[in-house]
A and B are shown apart, each in its own frame.
Chain A
Amino acid sequence: MPALFQKSANRLPLQLILYLCVVACVATAGVTYYMTPKYTRVGYAPIQPVPYSHAKHVGELGLDCRYCHSTIDTAGAAVPTAQTCMNCHSQIRTASPALASVRASFETGRPIPWVHVHVMPSFVYFDHSVHVNRGVGCVECHGKVNEMDVVTQRKPMSMGFCLDCHRAPAERMRERKDVFNLDSPTIAEAKGILVAREFIREWKISPPQSCSGCHR
């Protein structure tokens, strides 16, 4: 009668353990790479009801962010009203089919169903005004919107992303005049980190790192 197990079976437990280690490594790498907003959210560029191009309006015409997002430094983020579009488009490209829903919205008062790109969970209480009024530039979280034909999420907007800046704000602050200039350098880039730290001290910037800073 031959042996029930061949001699090579002695190595089997070791090989199995080794294989499980390899699988664990591959799985960990996969989860780390794929199961974070850096993969699931960055690059999200939904098709909007109106093919509005920020590259055209901001990059080319040089409109300020606040021309349309006018409540950003007082009451928070807001998508502009149809009237804001019609300020110019009552005279420019008045017959463009791309603007049909803007004209309809302006006449009827029914909002344009824009698709929300940068979505925060409901338990995150983010306020734009406190950020833009104290030196956090739009570009820090939204990327170079002035070069985008279609608004695309560029930063993960995860809690880690928020905390990176809340823990080390000096590296990312801008002069107040540069906050809405998406091509401007940070203070640290332009004048060095020491000047940026001085700015943090002068403006008494102390971003909260406690849970209740952002969660209620």
Chain B
Amino acid sequence: MRTIYLITAFVAVLTVSLLGLRGRRFVQPPVDVFPEWAFPGMKYQPKLTQQTASPFFADGRSDRAPPPGTVPASYGPAGQALRNDGFLYAGKAPDGSWARGFPRALKVDMALLERGRDRFTIYCAPCHGALGDGNGVMRAYGMGATASYHDERLRKMAEGEIFNTITSGKGQMNPYGDKLAPADRWAVVAYVRALQRARTGVVGDVPDHHKGELEVQ
């Protein structure tokens, strides 16, 4: 009997030493405790989900690009069915020049500016810096000269052109149209304008009830 207990203990110790403890790091795909061949179920369905591989298509991916000319059924802040608002979606005035001001479909208010700050901090600040002066964290890692928003050229640039720069990129900057929906791009434009305005602010711009917070009067 004693031998049997010893063997059992040996098997238990062997199992623990072979399998290890919880939380160890491993690179092989996790073992399935209830494998499909023994317990057929619906755990791994042959359906295609986002960003999965599919040998069916020539490029090997399940995500399909929309055919050229396709328009989302509902899009934009005002739910426009078609992107027929050139100002809102391309930053262009009816005569084809860069539009100034903001599209009528958007209300430029604090909520839009807050949204702009939020998006700016995520997507723009790494290179352009939190103040828009081109001193983002990437500069220390070798990012080339990033434009400062406080240059005369950019201060005078039409809102529509800034919008277009975000949408399509410019020079070394890649497009961000895939990351920012049109309304978000306008929110960022509004926030950029706020940053530019703040740079030239004087004491007289500060509302009276905030004057006490200034260190220099």
Contact = CB atoms under 8 A, between A and B. Distances in A.
B22 A39 contact: yes
A86 interface: yes
B144 A44 contact: no
A121 B43 contact: yes
A67 B123 contact: yes
B178 A123 contact: no
Interface in A86-144: 86-88, 90-93, 109-111, 113, 119, 121-123
Interface in B108-126: 121-123, 126
A120 to B, nearest CB: 10
Interface residues of A, number: 50
Interface residues of B, number: 47
A70 interface: yes
A110 B22 contact: no
B17 to A, nearest CB: 13
Contacts of B51: 78-79, 111
A161 interface: no
A40 B33 contact: yes
Contact of B59 (A26, A43, A90, A110): A110
Interface in B24-39: 24-27, 29-33
B22 A123 contact: no
B142 A92 contact: yes
Given A43-B23, A84-B179, A152-B25, 7 more contacts: A26-B12, A30-B15, A46-B27, A46-B29, A88-B141, A92-B138, A119-B30
- Please list the 10 inter-chain residue pairs (A to B) with the smallest Cβ-Cβ separation, ordered nearest first: A122-B45, A64-B122, A70-B179, A121-B43, A87-B174, A35-B33, A41-B30, A92-B142, A39-B22, A43-B25
